[in-house]
Amino acid sequence: MIQDAGEIVRDAIVHAEICIVGGGPAGITLAMTLARAGHGVLLLESGDLGARDEAQDLNAGEVADESLHSPPDKYRQRCLGGATSIWGGRCVPFDPIDFKARPWIDHSGWPIGYDEVEPYYAGANALCEAGEFEYDARLAIQGGMRPLLRGFTPRHFDLNGIERFSCPTNFGRRYEAGLRAAGNVRVLLRATVTHLQSSRDGSRIESLHVRNVRDIGFSVTADQFVLAIGGIETPRLMLTSNDVQTNGIGNANDLVGRFYMCHIAGTIGSLQVNGGSDQVWHGYDVAPDGTYCRRRIALRPDVQSAMGLGNAVFRLHHPRIADPRHRTGPLSAIFLAQKFISYEYAKRLVSDVPPTPALWMRHGLNAVSDPISTVRFLGHWLRDRTLAERKFPSIIIRPRTNLFSLDFHAEQVPNPGSRITLGSAVDIFGNRQVRIDWHYTRQDVETVARSFDLLRDDIARQAIGNLSLAAGERDIEDVVRRDGAYGGHHIGTARMAASAASGVIDRDCKVFGINNLYVAGSAAFSTSSQANPTLTIVALALRLAHHLNSIVNRTSNVRVTEQSMVVSEL
């Protein structure tokens, strides 16, 4: 059932067998999976069915360097479905190398291997509605997908890895009916957790303090608690709950909020491909199950190891939209329509050049002088994106002259100095807001720069084309600074580790030193990979659900009925 927390009376105690905080993809996955296994689940969501200002305001906070990181109320949605209500749908699994301890990357290595996550990826793919768990271009489509660059067999990159796209599925809208129908799930909307109350000895969480929108407080008790509130809110709630443990929950070693990673990502360079337009295919193929699939240019693991680099991928991309020299009508039409594009997407698409009247004029001329392409693109966008249930994932425009740019998406190495802390301002419930102090490292820049050089050499060696950098891009660090932290990927702030000395949670996602508190979501990641996080968030949530199912059966053998969730007044 789904209920508004406004219906809970003041000072009530709501009890559940398992309480999940946060109704994003991790929380919803956990709730549905545990409910199917027969457990009584309470899911607390701070927002409503859709994002509202009053809940979004709770995301406010400060950023140490606003030129590098977006404000904390962007890319984060307080509503059922969480950030999947605005995501792009790109699904990519982590690579086996991402889980390994790599001597050339400090703090790398998970306490679990890829083989322990892999069994959950197929289920995650299904929940994300990204089709089969098949990420090999030779197998995803019968006969194989079209080659990216005909005849290109690079020495340092693999071209057979693909990304698959979710609808993009908004977990809230998609699974709302299932949550409503499930007899042993209670979803409380507009229920903001303000405090984790630990026992006197700090060994377990006794209750949660919860406020509804009318600022009426109530408590939640449960046998097990899971935080599934994202990489920024997780450390905030753990740090702010400091009445028993003065450093905050699970923060005895001052690791909560550290190792904050996003991805190093952006658009770079110009690739002039030799030959005709049939030499290159940078668009999507459609798998038999209807999923859009696309090849990537992935830095091979042995090359990462040999050269001491992080993980990274490139994609062929249209020329930079904001630069009118592309003289492409549809791209200029997108520039002109930027007011209608959400902040999260406009930031990547068009905001790297300040819009001046002259620039508007030049883009206007492009759009007018290329009317057929512009109208054709708008028709395609309306049919395949706006009206389609499975949406065309991104803007694919075939340049007239085989001139492309490169999208890069690279791992950010774990860095204890990049961190989330508590700021000075407080929210309406009196809790301190977050302060985001994101940092990249020289190694992050090196991963992009060296990978780019390797790709340029591979392309030149095989006479595929010419990859070059614009004048303002010669120093890759300038590009990294220009594009900043990739929005929406908030990783590592309650990282999984082999011991409390190096992380916040153990291999089962349980907070070190606390018997009944778990962390789901990308806060749990030890490293960031090249992959977008959502698929792995869902896979890890399925793995955590499996673990909780085994723990609860083993330790308490509770027979779950609807009555396991009661509301009582003190």
Partner 1 sequence: MPDTMEFPRKPVLVLGASGFIGSRVVAALTSSPLYRPVAASRRSAPAVDATDPKAVSGALRDVDCVVNCIAGDNRTMLRSTRVLCDAARISPPRRIVHISSMAVYGAATGWIHEDKPPVAPISSYGQAKVECERIVSKYVEDGGDAVILRPTCVFGAGSPQWNTRLAHLLKARRIGDLGSAGDGHCNLAFIDDVVAGILAALEAPDLAGRVFNISSSADLTWNEFLVVFAKALGATPVRRIAPRMLQIETKLLAPLLRAAAKVVRLPAIEAITPSLAALWRQDIQIDCSAAVATLMLPQTTVNQMLAATCRLQEPAFS
Q: Shortest Cβ distance from residue 173 to partner 1 (Å)?
A: 8
- Token readout for 453 is 């050089």
Residue closer to partner 1 by CB (options 165, 452) is 165
* Residue 94 φ/ψ, nearest 5 degrees: -65, 160
- Token readout for 180 is 């409503």
| Contact of 85 with 172, CB cutoff 8 Å | yes
Residue closer to partner 1 by CB (options 147, 178) is 178
- Token readout for 183 is 């007899």
Residue closer to partner 1 by CB (options 127, 448) is 127
Q: Shortest Cβ distance from residue 126 to partner 1 (Å)?
A: 8
CA nearest to 314, candidates 161, 476, 436, 484: 161
Residue closer to partner 1 by CB (options 287, 509) is 287
Contacting residues toward partner 1, per CB under 8 A = 129, 167, 174-178, 181, 286-290, 387-390
CA nearest to 29, candidates 553, 562, 546: 546
Residue closer to partner 1 by CB (options 177, 425) is 177
Q: Shortest Cβ distance from residue 562 to partner 1 (Å)?
A: 13
Burial string for 110-142 (b: 16+ CB within 10 Å, else e) reads bbbebeebeebbebbbebbbbbebbbebeebbe
Q: Shortest Cβ distance from residue 341 to partner 1 (Å)?
A: 23
Residue closer to partner 1 by CB (options 181, 375) is 181
Beta bridge partners of 219: 13, 209
| Contact of 157 with 85, CB cutoff 8 Å | no
Q: Shortest Cβ distance from residue 167 to partner 1 (Å)?
A: 7
CA nearest to 310, candidates 450, 426, 152: 450
Burial string for 330-344 (b: 16+ CB within 10 Å, else e) reads bbbbbbbebeebeeb
Q: Shortest Cβ distance from residue 523 to partner 1 (Å)?
A: 28
DSSP character for 30?
H
Q: Shortest Cβ distance from residue 20 to partner 1 (Å)?
A: 21
DSSP character for 463?
T
Q: Shortest Cβ distance from residue 288 to partner 1 (Å)?
A: 4
Residue closer to partner 1 by CB (options 80, 467) is 80
Residue closer to partner 1 by CB (options 115, 389) is 389
Rg (CA), the chain: 24
